[in-house]
Structure formats: C-alpha cells, structure tokens
Structure 1
Amino acid sequence: MEKASKPRSWKQNPEAVRSDILRVARAEFARRGLSGTRIEDIAAGTKTSKRMIFYYFGDKQSLYEAVLEDCYSEVRAGEAELDLEGLPPEQALRRLIEFTFDHHRSNPEFIRLVMIENVHEARHMEKMKRLHDQNMRAIGVVERICQAGRESGVFRDDVSALALHWQISALSVFNVANRATFSTNFGTTLFEEDGQDLLRRTAVRSILCSVLARPESFDPT
C-alpha cells in the first residue's frame, strides 16, 4: 500500500514564509515607522529567523517597500472584485466609494503606512514601478466610470478621474488618519457604528452630487 505523502514543512512553503514575514512587518512598520522598526522584532513575531528575512527581502528598506506594495495590491485586488464593468456609472461610482471607505476603515495599518511614506516624501514609492503601474490602473477604472457617465449625460462634462480619485481618498483616509485628534477635540460619536454609517452615506452623497449633471436627481438609497 502506498504511503500517504507527508505534509509540506514550513520551510518547504516559501510563499507561506514570505506572507508571514509581510504580515508581521506590516504591523511593525505601521507602529514604529521605517527608522524605528528592527528586523529582530519582526523575526520574533514570525515563524522564521532574521537570516531568512534577509534571504527573502535583502534588507530592511526592501522589506518596507515590499510591505507597501503588498498593501496597495490588496486595495487594487479588492477593487477588481467589485466587478464594476457594465454597471450604470452612478452605481459603479457609489460601489467604489463605499468599498474605499470600508477598506480604509478596516485597515488602519495601511493608512499609517501611507502617512509614514508621506513623511519620507514618497521617495521609496517613486522608484517602485510595479506599484506605480498598479495605481495607474486604478485611475483607469475611475476614468472608465467617468467616461460612461459623461457619454450618458449622467455626469458633468468636466468630471476628472484624477480629481475624483483624490476626493474618494481624501474622505476615506481622513476618517482613519485623523481619528485620534478629531476624537480628542470633539468626542468619539462619529467613530461609533452609527457615526461611521453617517460618514459613509455622507461621503457617497457629497462625491456623487459633485459629479452628477443633475445633482437634484441623487437617490440616497
């Protein structure tokens, strides 16, 4: 009788090792920033060693860049799963706004990493061509929505995909990035469940009404 094959060991599964390192590194970089993070601390939280981290990623900066790319890839993959092709433009835009708001709210580490990279003047992202290409494809998604909206007469003729992407990001990022200071100044009401539902609806309404040719036709449902 043929023996059952043994399960692959951890070391025989490089993708699992890499994912584990990225998971722990994301939390460490988000908490401590690039300069404050130590590879020893990342290794302590993984199922591998400091030597293997260097083997997979080369150095700390390369690991940080891999974390950034991984985070943005998750966002872009989530957008792709929305299946916006064929939807009426206002419905596609609504779905994209809701996804972005929900994703950022659920992934504060991603927002902290974006803030950290802004502190570094985006000098790491500047040289990451694959990341740049991914993000430009995201603008392409918004442009297709805008084009459909303009051609159907639903959107204004001067709607800009880049400005629209900026609007969606601005509302969704601020909700996470400024939570601590906003709560300290004004209380936590908006960050409780009902408050977040209100902000989500407000984001949809304000952005859609800013692009609709007839904003009075906006349907809040």
Structure 2
Amino acid sequence: MNRTVHSRPPRAAAPASKRAATRTNDPERTMAGILEVATAEFAAKGFDGARIDAIADSTHTSKRMIYYYFGSKEGLYLAVLEDAYRRMRAIESQLHLEDLAPEAALAALVGFTFDHHLDNEDFIRLVMTENVQRGQFLARSKMIQDLNVPAIESIQQLYDRGVAQGVFRPGLDAIDLHASISALSFFNVSNRHTFDLIFKRDTLSPTQRAVRRQSVVDMVLRFVRHSNPA
C-alpha cells in the first residue's frame, strides 16, 4: 500500500531587504552598536591592525553600512576617539567640583581619573594608539579639543580657590597639574601587565587597587598643598 507523505514546506527566510530594514530603522542604535564593537577592535589591534570586516561581522551589518554611517575606516576611528573622550568628560562634569572645598574637590577629581582609567582599559589603549599615530586623527577633531577646554578650566578654578583660601601653594600651572594626575592614573593601565608580572602584584585586586588609589590621591594633594614654614 502506497502512502503519500506530506512534508511541511520549509519556512522561507525573510527577504534581505526586510532584514536590512530592521537594522536601518533605528540608525542611532545601529551606530552605537558599531561604535561599541569598533572601540574594542581599535583598542585591541590599533588603527592599522583593526579590520572593518571584523567589525561588520560582529555587529551583523556590512562594510557598506559602516561606510554609509562613518565614511571610511579613518572616519570610524575618529568617531570612536570622539565618543571615548565625550563619555569621560560627561561623567567628569557630574562631579560638581565647584560645590566641594578645594582639597575635597581635587581628591574627587584624582580619584575619578584613577577609577575611570582603571575601569576603561580600552580608552587607555586608544590614547596609546593615537600617540603611535602622532595625534594625527585627534588633530582633526575640534570636538575633542573643545572638550578639554572646560576640563582644564575646572582644574584652574578649583586650584585658584585653594590658593585664595591659603590651602594650595601658588605658582602651579593647571595643565601641568592635569598632566601629573593623568600620568599617575595612566600608568596603572598602560603598564599593568608588565608591572604585575615583574613585581608579582595584582593591580586589579580590591586591596591593591584601594592602596594605589589612595597613594595617588595623597601624592597629588601633598604636591599642591601650601607648606607653612615652622
């Protein structure tokens, strides 16, 4: 006896145009996803080593779509840099340093910088990559340069308040102070692997992190404090 076997027809895949529409209907979300993946790619491999194909695969988009939004690999890299600096300065602005006493404000700023750098290794790697590129891409971004103006002004204002109150010693430069804070926080990320290996430390352990953080805060405060002769 012959039986007719009725097989269920395979479900047709959604048309490519429909799949693409679901991505392009929310361009801000798509761009944010591309920036997130591109940040990790550029941070891990540098500008020269990063591949647009890898970013497209990880975001389930296409090179064509990435170029549509960002223009080129250089445009995407610059957008990643701008996004990283913008996020850092946005959080920094929420410290409300003007509401704190000068020493407390400086301690808060140093502590924030230390925590931000240690918790955002990709940011440090991007800065290192841009230094390898001799700052050529950062130089194209007026936005990044403008973002750093209020950051220096904030340091200048809290320093001036400290000098006026007799808490900080006069004669220091705000940009130099910013450089010292940045250097003391930057090293913990840029040299973490080699430093921990050589000295058998774990920079990310809660205990070691707290000790190092307080040490950095203390060093900056002692440098800036007004020393009253006995």
Using structure 1 for the length normalisation, give the TM-score.
0.90
Instruction: Choose the corresponding residue for 2:181, options 161, 168, 190.
Output: 168
Match of 1:208 in 2: 221
Counterpart CA distance in 2 for 1:74 and 1:164 is 22
The answer to whether the Cα contact below 8 Å between 1:154 and 1:213 also exists between their aligned partners in 2 is yes
Give aligned-pair identity as a percent: 45
Q: How does 1:1-221 map to 2 (within 5 A)?
A: 9-214=22-227
- How far does residue 12 in structure 1 lie from its aligned partner after superposition? 1.7
Counterpart CA distance in 1 for 2:61 and 2:80 is 17
Larger Rg: 2
The answer to whether the Cα contact below 8 Å between 2:56 and 2:66 also exists between their aligned partners in 1 is yes
Counterpart CA distance in 1 for 2:213 and 2:201 is 16
C-alpha distance after superposition, 1:109-150 (max 9, x if no partner): 100110111111111111211110101221111111111111
- How far does residue 15 in structure 1 lie from its aligned partner after superposition? 1.1
- Between 47-56 and 116-125, report the one with greater CA deviation: 47-56
The answer to whether the Cα contact below 8 Å between 2:192 and 2:203 also exists between their aligned partners in 1 is no
Counterpart CA distance in 2 for 1:81 and 1:36 is 35
Amino acid at match of 1:87: L
Amino acid at match of 1:18: M
Counterpart CA distance in 1 for 2:23 and 2:57 is 16
Amino acid at match of 1:15: E
Counterpart CA distance in 2 for 1:178 and 1:201 is 19
C-alpha distance after superposition, 1:168-209 (max 9, x if no partner): 100110000001111121112444221111110000000001
Counterpart CA distance in 1 for 2:71 and 2:228 is 52
The answer to whether the Cα contact below 8 Å between 2:37 and 2:59 also exists between their aligned partners in 1 is yes
- How far does residue 164 in structure 1 lie from its aligned partner after superposition? 1.0
> Which secondary structure does the structure 2 equivalent of 1:213 belong to?
coil
Which runs of 5 or more structure 1 residues have no equivalent in the other structure?
Answer: 1-7, 217-221
Runs (4+) off by over 6 Å: none
Counterpart CA distance in 1 for 2:154 and 2:228 is 22
- How far does residue 215 in structure 1 lie from its aligned partner after superposition? 8.1
The answer to whether the Cα contact below 8 Å between 2:188 and 2:203 also exists between their aligned partners in 1 is no
Counterpart CA distance in 2 for 1:86 and 1:200 is 23
> Which secondary structure does the structure 2 equivalent of 1:210 belong to?
helix
RMSD: 1.6
- Between 68-77 and 179-188, report the one with greater CA deviation: 179-188
